DNA sequence: CTAATAGGCAACCAGAAGGTTGCCTACATA
DNA sequence: TATGTAGGCAACCTTCTGGTTGCCTATTAG
């Protein structure tokens, strides 16, 4: 039975403003690193590092195209993360239900 | 116009295995710190620190009850986070739609 | 061929995270 | 009242993060 991978790394990757903004920018299409760097208020290497974090979490994927490297969104992991949150949320609802029933006797 | 708070801190708080497990344990009812510590493979202070992180993100709330401090789940923020993910996911769908239309000309 | 552009790699650095331990206070109870 | 239990606070340590810079390679354009 394949133990489910924990969603923690994906959440960790999402837990940074810069990275959220990168993802937002990528959501209107693939972009190169220098494109992403422009207006990011950060050095190219800084952007690269964040992209690698996102890549490590499986949220984006980069391919070299000529002299530039293009970065795409990767959907699967985000879906997984979303499902995880839904699940957690569901558990919490149940918990609150139990508590409420208990309190109201 | 109240600018929306970024979901990054909540995601960051969720981005740790220990904290996810704490939340899971709390989802079956409020627990004290020593209860949470037992079987956590961590010192009491370690647990406390994680709880404070979760509290900082608004995901839990603790109140002192006699000699122990009880910790409860706080739903609002998780809902917000869930909505954020849904939103992002939606944006991505649109992006993929655009890309597809473009490719298929 | 040369110059300019895009990017990789490695070193470095400051500060934050994650964890521990030691010691003190507060409550509950024999 | 004396003792055990729950927890707070602060110091400390090590590792990870987020960012920089310098320099090298590869591709493209003149």
Residues of B in contact with A7 (CB under 8 A): 14, 20
Does residue A3 sit within a domain? no
B104 pLDDT more than 60? no
B4 pLDDT more than 80? no
Task: Using pLDDT thresholds of 50, 70 and 90, give the confidence band for residue A101.
Answer: low
Q: Residue A98 phi/psi, 5° resolution?
A: -55, -50
Give me B4's structure tokens: 């929306």
Task: Using pLDDT thresholds of 50, 70 and 90, give the confidence band for residue A5.
Answer: confident
Does residue A2 sit within a domain? no
Query: Where do the H-state alpha helices sit in B1-105?
Result: 8-14, 17-26, 33-37, 44-56, 75-103
CATH number, domain with residue A50: 1.10.10.10
Tell me the average pLDDT of chain A: 90
Does residue A13 sit within a domain? yes
Closest CA to A15 of A23, A4, A25, A26: A23
Does residue B1 sit within a domain? no
Instruction: Give the residue carrying structure tokens 């029933």.
Output: A101
Question: DSSP string of A2-13?
Answer: -PPPPSHHHHHH
Out of A97-101, B37-41, B91-95, pick the least confident.
A97-101
Tell me the average pLDDT of chain B: 90
A95 pLDDT more than 90? no
Range of the domain at B62: 8-103
User: How many A-B residue pairs are in contact by the CB < 8 A criterion?
Assistant: 98
Distance of CA B40 to the CA centre of its chain: 18
Closest CA to B31 of A103, A105, A99: A99
Average pLDDT over residues A37-61: 97
Residues of A in contact with B9 (CB under 8 A): 15
A36 pLDDT more than 70? yes
Query: What is the chain B residue with the closest CA to A6?
Result: B17
Average pLDDT over residues B53-65: 97
């Amino acid at each position: 039975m394949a133990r489910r991978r924990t969603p923690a790394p994906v959440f960790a990757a999402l837990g940074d403003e810069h990275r959220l903004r990168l993802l937002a920018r990528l959501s209107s299409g693939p972009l190169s690193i220098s494109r992403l760097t422009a207006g990011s208020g950060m050095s190219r290497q800084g952007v690269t590092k964040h992209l690698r974090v996102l890549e490590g979490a499986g949220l984006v994927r980069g391919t070299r195209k000529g002299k530039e490297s293009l970065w795409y969104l990767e959907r699967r992991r985000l879906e997984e993360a979303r499902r995880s949150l839904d699940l957690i949320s569901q558990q919490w609802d149940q918990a609150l239900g139990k508590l409420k029933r208990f309190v109201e006797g």
